[in-house]
Structure 1
């Protein structure tokens, strides 16, 4: 069934995005996997081609285009090229971090930060999760005590995407530790802040080139002017952006599943067993028929969510449905497709193996599947 989400302008942009990944990412991705981090040049190359900060105003170097379909294409093309790590690094910067810098900043902050974000010279991250607080966001313990014109931060964060490369980290802190939700604020911690240290670049099951770090704050002094929005409103800012974040993850999930099916369709027509292509076996046909159907049906729901986001109608429950269904489908489809590759599917030089390893985290980050179901249940009035 034909997708009607994109216009001719989007199709032309897709060609640019696909060429960017082919030229700037694919030749380097194996090395980045080995090194555990993408080069900073990934961001500046993307910025030079206008592939960053689409929603940022033109006067700050962005495109000034409030159309999430461009973001979606960047995510889809990363999965098409099987470079999930680079794709996540860029989508974190574009889809998840950028809204804090466009919506919660005053003019002086915009002038200070947005040009570098748009050019790729300033890489962004957001630090919410802590060793003792993941899904329970209101339970964070990192504090920011105001002393004159600075906040003094103490605490630790973990599993922070872009954590090693980041120049600007949006950090969730407690400015009033006696409160839960109402005591939370967001401050921007800059790279060279004294007392801000990066811990390990965590070695993961998949997404090997994506730097995922521990961050530590020991009497780190951050200017009060680095506060985003109003003090005590951080929880609201975070939750307001979660629907877009979860939709971005869902888009990546269904695009990865689509790529897995396409790769497997090509493989089974070429691979022979018992004197014939394995595509002729009924089991192969049934597995791929089932995977194709699930992917296509899900794709149309995700496309509808993208349109709902553009119209300001995407609810937390709808985003949760998209996120949990698409990512669980991603895991299931990549696993079933890998099985059809036999032993070759377990060899990392085959793209299906990378898709399989990279899929495992998607039902965890951005809110676990269990949290997504809880959100949906509450929307049904089940409390």
Structure 2
């Protein structure tokens, strides 16, 4: 069944329409098709390009500055939270928060602001909720690098309608201990690798994370054990054990510096970094960022978590998070967004891009 989207309708209604088109990661084709059709039909002022299940659109008006908006089309798997429904000023359903409310605001702006004061780029991409290697922005950066450039990038992830600046970096590492197997009835003949993790667990329990203020935004670091594995059977002294740790680090550290810190904390252990992604500095001094802050009101806060703003920051583009919905409800069965969040975010971004 072909679904037609009306991009000029109220952004709340548009959010509900987007939610009602299932788009679990890897299965975004139907939604990408609908977005592409609507942009081509209702926004003739935009250049539109399709790349897999990513849809790109932009103005080319020769403005002295460009703002890039980014939003992913995919969701986590449904959990008895489709289709959308409304109760007392709240829109419920999968993706209302993460992040079809933000997508709806972007699409509404794309179609209804043909003469913005900044040139505008809109990136609607696939596979954000799964392995980073499949993220559609990788393909955009490789095949259409000029579409990633601008004076400010706004990732419309949920932020409670507050400007969330930058983001934390993230690193996962494994600590491995080895021992000697033996029958548990003759344990003195072996060396227990699980017991050897004890010191590392005590280090984690006593660890005091940094709290870092960068341009008035406070980032809280965290080093946590997130998985532990070991053991052979119920009557064998184990000869191998692993702790997986996650380090969320402030954006004033590079991944190299973050790794050095983790290795220092666990000095003497066999440690392997599994993956790592840099954070993003706030970038609030950019003129377009200052315009957004003025339009949104309030005080910017640090983004505690990793988002695709880091991709733009790596390219030297100031980037912030700004979108409707409470990020704490993302990925939950109870996912919902107050409709006035959507309306307010649409109004703020319209002020940003119009004279």
* Structure having the higher Rg: 2
TM-score by length of 2: 0.26
Q: Which has the higher helix share?
A: 1
Higher-RCO chain (CA-CA 8 Å, sequence separation at least 6): 2
- Higher relative strand content: 2
